[in-house]
Amino acid sequence: MSAKPSNLRIAIVDYGLGNLFSVVNACGNAGIDAYITSSPAEILAAPAVILPGVGAFRDAMECLHRIDLVGPLRDYANSGKPLFGICLGQQLLFSESEEFGSTKGLDILKGTVRRFDNPRDERGRALKVPHVGWNLAVPPADRPDAWRGTPLEPHGREAMMYFVHSFFVVPDDPGAVLAMTTYGDQEFCSAVRNGGTYAFQFHPERSGTEGISFYRKVRDIISDNQNH
Amino acid sequence: MKNLRIIPRLDIKGPNLVKGIHFEGLRVVGKPESFARFYYENGADELLYMDAVASLYGRNSLLDIVKRTSEEIFIPLCVGGGLRSVDDIRKVLRAGADKVSINTAAIANPELIRDASHAFGSSTIVVSIEAIRQSDGRYECFTDYGREYSGVDAFDWARRAEDLGAGELLVTSIDREGTGTGFDLELTAKIASSVSIPVIAGGGAGSARHVVEVVETGMADAVCIASLFHYDTISRIAKADESAFAAEGNVEFLQGRRGTVSTTRVKEAGICAVKDELERAGIHTRRIPIPS
């Protein structure tokens, strides 16, 4: 196990939704010293921030507004420091979600959040929603090297990751797509990057040894960012 | 691509992994953490921990085991047994569980499903349905680890649980549980076809072929397996790790291997063997490199 440099103390945002302990454990295993916080000042001062989350988009945005984290998270993202959104945390970074009509998101990444539309398998049978289980993330077809320098770099050209979700993101900018995944007859964007902001629909902290490789690369990205 | 999930189920009593038949006559199988690690390294897609006595005593003794497991095993961990309230669920999640399974308390108070899915997200809440087929062909839900008759119809309850916000259903046939005679395909298929959320089938796996059947005919989205894997694992890790077996309780039969397989029709099979059989039937699974 690698040493834990003290300057890699990164903030995991707690806004009252989701199990943060899996993220803390995976960070610990990858040599990242992570702590849970809902303090705007601590988030703004952190060298890197993870925005996790499980649950409903609207509830999550209400929580973020209530504890006054919407502004600080936008300011943090504007600073260019590494920001990692995971699962619901990914979706929250976007402009709006169609869950329960329409709900405004953090608008750090431009695009919308949509629900699976009656996915079917290759034999035409209905697939269950939520999409729960392991699935492949692959780089966009036109940019096979898109993963270089991202947490997905150690996985080569495909990563088997654990998913639990009914909604997925549709970025306005196709160039922001970092990975695609197929569930039955529906292909969706499973990872996004814009500058220092990265977002993933899957749960790397629950994706076995591949997920640990992911967090080790997160550690390297934060470390490199510190040294520049 | 859809990959079928294989979920080893570990029933836990005190510090021990136990296994019974129809949830009765629990025998000590070994140390849960050792089995959990073995399953993690051999391609388990998730793990299920079920506290076998928590409902009976109204407590949950599993928290320490959950904490240790979640610190070293990075696949989803679902925990059930004796969870009575949103607060109980919060404690298990704070110990490192990713999902919880609720049965007894949800039948007593169905609003718990709504409250819990609102508090933690639907995908965190698995409603466990443990059913026994009645002579008139109906299926009744049982609570308290198969001891108490609830009078609730399993098919009605499955749809209601979905409406209340359950993210998944774990459907276990108590009739088949531990027997190795195969899953109750009728129970699984009827529930799987009546809800839009994933159904995890449990109870009865006695061979890899049974697992294929419950996917093809039973329409299961995931499969929960105990004895089939435990008996295979005993022979693999027993010699390597004596400490995997607790020094107390009903362990003698393990060392002598008396009374384990002979009391059921369970054939031993590992996770790889089950996934091989699924792949041969055209059902996709997640494969990982297995340590030699």
Predicted pLDDT at B15 = 87
d(CA B11, CA B33) in angstroms, rounded, equals 12
For B4-40, the pLDDT digits (tens) are: 999 999 999 988 999 888 888 888 988 999 999 999 9
Please give the share of chain A, as a percent, with pLDDT higher than 70: 96
Confidence band of B247 (pLDDT split at 50, 70, 90)? very low
Predicted pLDDT at B248 = 46
**DSSP per position, chain A:** -----GGGEEEEE-SS-S--HHHHHHHHHTT-EEEEE--HHHHHH-S-EEE---S-HHHHHHHHHHTT-HHHHHHHHHTT--EEEETHHHHHTSSEE-TTS-EE---SS-EEEEE--S-B-TTSPBPPSSEEEEEEEB--TT-TTTTTTSTTGGGTT-EEEEEEESEEEEES-GGGEEEEEEETTEEEEEEEEETTEEEESS-GGGSHHHHHHHHHHHHHHHHHHHT-
Predicted pLDDT at B57 = 58
Q: Which of B63-72, B245-254, B276-285 has the lowest mean pLDDT?
A: B245-254
Confidence band of B257 (pLDDT split at 50, 70, 90)? very low
Q: Which of A26-35, B91-100, B245-254 has the lowest mean pLDDT?
A: B245-254
Q: Which one of A21, A29, A212 has the shortest CB-CB distance to B94?
A: A21
> Would you kindly state where each structural domain of chain B is located, as residue ranges?
5-280
For A62-86, the pLDDT digits (tens) are: 999 999 999 999 999 999 999 999 9
Confidence band of B266 (pLDDT split at 50, 70, 90)? confident
Residue A179: inside a domain: yes
The CATH number linked to A104 is: 3.40.50.880
What average pLDDT score do residues B63-81 get? 93
Task: Note whether B45 contacts A26, CB cutoff 8 Å.
Answer: no
Q: Which of A100-109, A129-138, B230-239 has the lowest mean pLDDT?
A: B230-239
Give the phi and the psi of residue A192 in degrees, each rounded to 5: -140, 145
This prediction's pTM:
0.92
H-type alpha helices, B200-264: 208-216, 227-237, 252-256
Q: Which one of A164, A182, A183 has the shortest CB-CB distance to B123?
A: A164
Q: Which one of A128, A133, A164 has the shortest CB-CB distance to B3?
A: A133
pLDDT surpasses 70 at A7:
no
In which element (H, E) is residue B5 found? Answer: strand B5-13
Predicted pLDDT at B292 = 61
For B121-166, the pLDDT digits (tens) are: 899 999 999 999 999 999 999 998 888 999 999 999 999 999 999 9
Range of the domain at A189: 6-226
pLDDT surpasses 60 at A26:
yes
Q: Which one of A18, A121, A206 has the shortest CB-CB distance to B76?
A: A206
Chains A, B: CB contacts within 8 A come to 108
Give the phi and the psi of residue B277 in degrees, each rounded to 5: -65, -40
Beta-bridge mates of residue B5: B222
pLDDT surpasses 50 at A4:
no
Give B276→chain A minimum CA distance, Å: 17
Average pLDDT, chain A: 93
Average pLDDT, chain B: 89
Predicted pLDDT at B20 = 87
Residue A155: inside a domain: yes
Task: Note whether A18 contacts B121, CB cutoff 8 Å.
Answer: yes
Q: Which of A5-9, A41-45, B49-53 has the lowest mean pLDDT?
A: A5-9
Fold of B5-280: TIM Barrel (3.20.20)
Residue A1: inside a domain: no
Task: Note whether B74 contacts A56, CB cutoff 8 Å.
Answer: no
Confidence band of B54 (pLDDT split at 50, 70, 90)? confident
Task: Note whether A130 contacts B286, CB cutoff 8 Å.
Answer: no
Question: What ipTM goes with this model?
Answer: 0.91
Task: Note whether B75 contacts A17, CB cutoff 8 Å.
Answer: no
Predicted pLDDT at B121 = 87
Q: Which of A25-29, A205-209, B235-239 has the lowest mean pLDDT?
A: B235-239
Residue pair A111/A171 in contact by the 8 Å Cβ criterion:
yes
CA angle A99, A101, A105 (to 5 degrees): 60
Give B93→chain A minimum CA distance, Å: 6
Active-site residue flag, A203:
yes
Confidence band of B235 (pLDDT split at 50, 70, 90)? confident
pLDDT surpasses 70 at B251:
no
SS3 assignment, position B50: strand
Task: Note whether A21 contacts B96, CB cutoff 8 Å.
Answer: yes
Predicted pLDDT at B214 = 98
Number of domains in chain A: 1
pLDDT surpasses 90 at A93:
yes
Asked if B249 has any chain A CB less than 8 Å from its own CB, the reply is no
For A125-139, the pLDDT digits (tens) are: 899 999 999 999 999
Give A178→chain B minimum CA distance, Å: 19
